[in-house]
Amino acid sequence: MPSVLKVKDLTKDFGGLRAVDNVSFEVSKGEFVGLIGPNGCGKTTTFNCISGLLDPSEGDIEIFEQNAIVLRPDEIQGLGLTRTFQHTRLWREMTAIENLLVPPRNQFGDNPFYGILSYFFREEENARVARAYDTLAELEITHMAHNLTSELSGGQSKLVDIGRAFMGEPELLLLDEPVAGVAGPLADKIFNNLRRAVTEKQISVLVIEHNMDFILRRGVDRIIVMDQGEILMQGTPDEVKDSKEVIEAYLGGAA
Ligand SMILES: Nc1ncnc2c1ncn2[C@@H]1O[C@H](COP(=O)(O)OP(=O)(O)OP(=O)(O)O)[C@@H](O)[C@H]1O
Ligand SMILES: [Mg+2]
């Protein structure tokens, strides 16, 4: 399968602190990859560089075979990449369902000329509303559809955020700790849905998760383990589980 994301020798310094240190990895089309590592090891910074929010200090990033270093975040999104944030960024003065209905990319309503023709796209509009409600149902938050997102709990906000990311029909989805604060059974269900979307729609997902035990049992194809800005190892869940280096990094040698 072709690579949808290539990160090569990525380094990011914040003053004297090297947050990401010469990191290289790829994600293929239709691949479900976990990115894991201790607090402060550089996972979110890596996402910020990929999505164009931070300029890398060194290195190359290709998204769908395009040089992403020169692109703005909105241009990167336009390529088909959607990301979520560790600290959810919803439109707080809007309801949950409205958050899902804010235009995904390539929607006719974005363009005033096509806006005039919107009458002809009413069916499409209705289908989108139905899909938004289906998405909320899938995430078990239909009852919150008309609540302002400022009224939602942390876990519920995470769910709306995931729903909104899905509504954009991304081809490459970057999720930063999507199930932190989400109750166990629902977290399982979300990962099952991600697995299904990857397999059936051939989208690619890179997901940050800090719980090693959790990610090992969630059907990801591959896990990238970071430690202190560097990649400690990459491999299948079985390979990671058996890696002495990983066990040491995680348990401080206690194992
Ligand atoms: N904008 C910034 N300015 C200065 N330092 C930063 C900035 N963003 C991150 N850092 C530092 O870079 C390092 C990596 O942070 P990062 O947020 O990427 O870690 P993380 O792996 O996502 O951690 P966590 O699991 O806690 O979310 C940390 O030492 C952090 O303090
Ligand atoms: Mg982080």
94-129 pLDDT, tens digit each: 999 999 998 655 555 556 666 666 666 778 888 999
CA dist list (Å): 185 to 84, 88, 160, 179, 226: 21, 21, 17, 11, 27
**Distance between CA 84 and CA 250 in Å, rounded?**
25
How far from chain centre, in Å, is Cα 100? 16
Question: For 41-80, b where at least 16 C-beta lie within 10 A, e where not — what string?
Answer: bbbbbbbbbbbbebebeebebbbbeeebeebeeeebbebb
Nearest to 209 by CA among 37, 28, 30, 72: 37
Unique residue bearing structure tokens 């910074």? 45
Cβ–ligand 1 distance for 43 under 6 Å, the answer yes
User: Nearest residue CA, atom 28 of ligand 1?
Assistant: 40
Q: Into how many domains does the chain fold? A: 1
Q: Residue 220's pLDDT is what?
A: 96
Instruction: Report DSSP letters for 104-169, one per residue.
Output: PTT-GGGSHHHHHGGGGGHHHHHHHHHHHHHHHHHTT-GGGTTSBGGGS-HHHHHHHHHHHHHHT-
Are 116 and 104 in contact by the 8 Å Cβ rule? The answer is no
Ligand 1 atom closest to 20 (CA)? 14
- Report, as ranges of residue numbers, the positions in the chain whose pLDDT lies below 50: 253-255
Q: 125 C-alpha vs ligand 2 centroid, how far in Å?
A: 35
Q: Check: CB of residue 138 under 8 Å from CB of residue 193.
A: yes
Termini Cα distance of the chain: 37
pLDDT the model gives residue 56: 98
What residue numbers bound the domain in which 121 lies?
A: 3-251
Tell me the CATH number at 211. Answer: 3.40.50.300
- CB-based contacts of 17, cutoff 8 Å, min separation 6: none
Q: What is the pLDDT of residue 11?
A: 98
Residue 227, pLDDT score: 94
CB 197 within 8 A of CB 203: yes
Whole-prediction pTM: 0.90
What is the best residue among 10, 43, 207 to mutate for testing ligand 1's pocket, by most ligand atoms within 8 Å of CB? 43
What pLDDT score does 83 carry?
94
What integer pLDDT is reported at residue 251 of this predicted model?
65
